[in-house]
């Protein structure tokens, strides 16, 4: 009879030559039955994306003799995993000192192996379990919650993908068993006994979580994977920082141009686009609708729109607000239903006003009344259009989403905003500008109404401006250290809200000038350093975390207004900022529409980022001025600024000696 013992065998594959590994998956495996094999199969697509796959199996004993032969089902699954990788080999290891970013546990025994292994494995930053049985078969009185609690007690973020009808523990039971814990994320796969029966959902959930643990971008292609530590020690500036720092293309412009390209009357070209998780989600969404996108070059992408947008697919929004809001109106023009889902945190973000507007325009949308992900838009090949009323108080993206598709509606679109406030109006101005650049006629009958005339979206070639909001922490670095930072290619005129930084920095004591080199910002030194300010950020809310970092380092109080809508972003940014400023010893209070920040002595602390790229930038800026700051999950900044922490380290390392390449 075969029996199992503790984990010892490690089966390792290496990426093919020329494939730059993003990170490592450590898969704790169990008996190797059909469900465990499905766990491995669920990760096969990840293997082709540059991940090194490591399988930690439990050695088998047959008649008391230890053997290293996996069950046939496991062997077949492993063969599928390694289709795009080098041939695997067994290695007998009695310990697992692997510096891997995430430990990924399969179902049943594999989940327990992962939870036991993770806390003692150097470099691990989180655990993912593809279901977690709370009690063994036939032994409901014996809970395994204490095993799941191990990585949580060690401070490791833990993701559990759980079938809704799992007899050994539903998502609700898992939550009850381990108590309320900020580091635990539960992903329910509706209507299934085992989440591995829905491999696409498992893959999506795992990919989203692992996307925040990518290796450093300067790693040579084809080398062994590098890992992020559980926390990133934010570099502290020992003096003024002088640097020239190019920034990547604008996410907001990249995704708007991509949407228009899918609706255009011919092939379109984007030059200097942003390659990030959000823009890649948009590219994948357009491909799901039938567009052909060649993004093989970082310098130029080419989009060939389909003759007819295609239904029948699924759009994975990840955490991208532009995808979950901009793409549904396109799906309404498709020739069949399109399902939308995304990261668990994205399911809390509002999309209801867009979905309601589509219903008012005659489109069938199924969201079970949630107004959030997941939902299905039932395209019929066209939308009549006409007049629609939208409350965009929570996000200007509700307006932009409908305007972008309006020209392709039969009667065009007349959109009236009905809310009392309208945040981030500059983003709507950006939308109008790109529409007009593509030959679409847009007018403003009054201050709260937009009219988009029906007609073609002309094929275009567009150059994407640098992302001025992503430049915010870099410019703040000059302000807090008394140095000088130059951002090349800063546009003389733009609709990007990041351009408002020039005014903010000037009011807080820095000097700014737009020259042939780009935007030059120089901070003050000594007692004349940063000054607090009373700022209305209603149109530029995305700048708030970096502005808050400046405010907490200022010598006088600050008041940040007009940003109540930030409570509905990637996280509740106002609550998050208040909490993290408190960890530093600072004083911040939430107000009805923003933050009040008072100067106070600061000290080092471990700061959370809440899966929010702007919170990672906040922490980096503070860390440059306050020694001893550590940042959890700094790689979440890659959402809009790929390799952000590497660029940041390079700036602090090089300082005034040379520009950053």
Question: Following DSSP, what letter does each residue of 227-278 receive, concatenated?
Answer: ---SEEEPPPPSS--EEE---PBPHHHHHHHHHHHHHBSS-EEEES---SHH
Which element (helix H / strand E) includes 326? helix 321-331
Q: How far apart are CA 644 and CA 236, in angstroms?
A: 16
- Cα-based distances in Å from 88 to 66, 78, 81, 224: 20, 9, 10, 15
Length of the chain: 661
Which of the residues 465, 542, 570, 580 is marked catalytic? Answer: 542
Q: How far apart are CA 315 and CA 318, in angstroms?
A: 9
Q: Which two tokens stand for residue 356?
A: 């309601």
Query: Is residue 200 within 8 Å of residue 209, measured between CB atoms?
Result: no
Helix (H, G, I), strand (E, B) or coil at 190: coil
Given strand 314-316, what is the order of strands in its sheet?
314-316, 337-341, 375-378, 364-366
Rg for the chain (alpha carbons), in Å? 25
Q: What angle do CA 651, 652, 657 make, to 5 degrees?
A: 70
Longest distance between any two alpha carbons in the chain, whole Å: 84
- Torsion angle, CA of 552/237/22/195, rounded to 10 degrees? -20
Q: Which two tokens stand for residue 251?
A: 């996410």
| Active-site residue flag, 17 | no
Question: How many Cβ atoms are within 10 Å of 133's Cβ, its own excluded?
Answer: 21
Q: Which two tokens stand for residue 198?
A: 């829905």
The 3-class secondary structure across 47-101, one letter per residue, is HCCCEEEEEEECCEEECCEEECCCCHHHHHHHHHHHHHCCCCEEEECCCCCCCCC
Kindly list the catalytic residues: 542
């Amino acid at each position: 009879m075969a029996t199992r013992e503790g984990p010892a065998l490690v089966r390792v594959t290496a990426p093919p030559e020329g494939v730059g590994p993003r990170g490592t998956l450590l898969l704790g495996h169990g008996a190797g039955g059909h469900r465990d094999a499905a766990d491995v199969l669920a990760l096969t697509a990840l293997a082709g994306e540059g991940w090194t796959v490591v399988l930690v199996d439990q050695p088998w004993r047959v008649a008391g003799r230890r053997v290293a032969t996996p069950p046939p089902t496991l062997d077949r699954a492993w063969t599928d995993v390694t289709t795009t990788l080098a041939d695997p080999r067994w290695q007998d290891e009695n310990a697992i000192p692997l510096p891997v970013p995430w430990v990924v546990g399969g179902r049943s025994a594999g989940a327990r192996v992962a939870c036991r292994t993770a806390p003692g494995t150097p470099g691990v930053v989180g655990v993912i379990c593809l279901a977690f049985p709370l009690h063994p078969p036939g032994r409901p009185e014996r809970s395994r919650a204490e095993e799941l609690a191990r990585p949580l007690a060690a401070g490791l973020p833990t993701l559990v993908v759980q079938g809704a009808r799992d007899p050994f523990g539903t998502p609700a039971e898992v939550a009850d068993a381990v108590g309320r814990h900020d580091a635990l994320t539960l992903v329910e796969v509706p209507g299934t006994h085992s989440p591995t029966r829905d491999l696409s959902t498992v893959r999506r959930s795992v990919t989203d979580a692992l996307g925040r643990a990518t290796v450093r971008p300067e790693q040579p292609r084809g080398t062994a994977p590098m890992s992020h530590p559980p926390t990133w020690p934010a570099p502290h500036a020992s003096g003024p920082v002088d640097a020239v720092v190019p920034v990547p293309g604008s996410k907001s412009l990249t995704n708007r141009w991509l949407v228009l390209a899918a609706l255009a009357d011919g092939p379109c070209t984007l030059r200097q686009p942003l390659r990030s998780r959000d823009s890649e989600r948009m590219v994948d969404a357009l491909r799901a609708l039938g567009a052909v996108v060649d993004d093989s070059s970082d310098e130029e992408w080419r989009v060939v729109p389909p003759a007819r947008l295609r239904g029948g697919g699924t759009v994975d929004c990840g955490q991208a607000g532009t995808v979950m809001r901009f793409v549904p109106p396109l799906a309404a023009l498709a020739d069949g239903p399109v399902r939308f889902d995304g990261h668990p945190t994205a399911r809390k973000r509002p999309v209801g006003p867009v979905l309601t507007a589509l219903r008012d325009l005659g489109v069938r949308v199924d969201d079970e009344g949630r107004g959030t992900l997941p939902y299905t838009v039932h395209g019929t090949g066209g939308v009549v259009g006409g007049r629609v009323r939208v409350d965009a108080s929570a996000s200007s993206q509700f307006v932009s989403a409908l305007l972008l598709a309006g020209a392709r509606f039969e009667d065009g679109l007349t959109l009236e905003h009905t809310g009392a406030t309208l945040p981030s109006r500059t983003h709507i101005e950006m939308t109008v500008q790109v529409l007009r650049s593509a030959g679409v006629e847009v007018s403003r009958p009054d201050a709260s109404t937009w009219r988009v005339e029906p007609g073609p979206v002309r094929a275009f070639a567009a150059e994407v401006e640098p992302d001025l909001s992503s430049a915010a922490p870099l410019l703040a670095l000059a302000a807090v250290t008394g140095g000088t930072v130059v951002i090349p290619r800063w546009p003389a005129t733009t609709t990007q809200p990041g351009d408002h930084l020039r005014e903010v920095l000037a009011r807080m004591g820095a000097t700014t000038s737009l020259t042939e080199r780009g935007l030059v910002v120089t901070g003050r030194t000594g007692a004349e350093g940063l000054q607090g300010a009373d700022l209305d950020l209603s149109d530029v809310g995305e700048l708030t975390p970096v502005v808050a970092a400046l405010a907490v380092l200022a010598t006088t109080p600050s008041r940040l207004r007009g940003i109540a809508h930030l409570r509905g972003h990637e996280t509740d940014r106002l609550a998050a900022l208040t909490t993290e400023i408190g960890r530093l010893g600072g004083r911040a209070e939430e107000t009805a529409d923003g933050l009040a920040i008072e100067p106070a002595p600061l000290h080092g602390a471990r700061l959370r980022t809440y899966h929010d790229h702007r919170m990672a930038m906040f922490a980096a800026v503070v860390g440059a001025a306050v020694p001893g700051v550590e940042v959890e999950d700094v790689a979440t900044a890659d959402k809009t600024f790929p390799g952000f922490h590497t660029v940041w380290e390079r700036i602090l390392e090089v300082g005034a000696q040379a520009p950053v390449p």
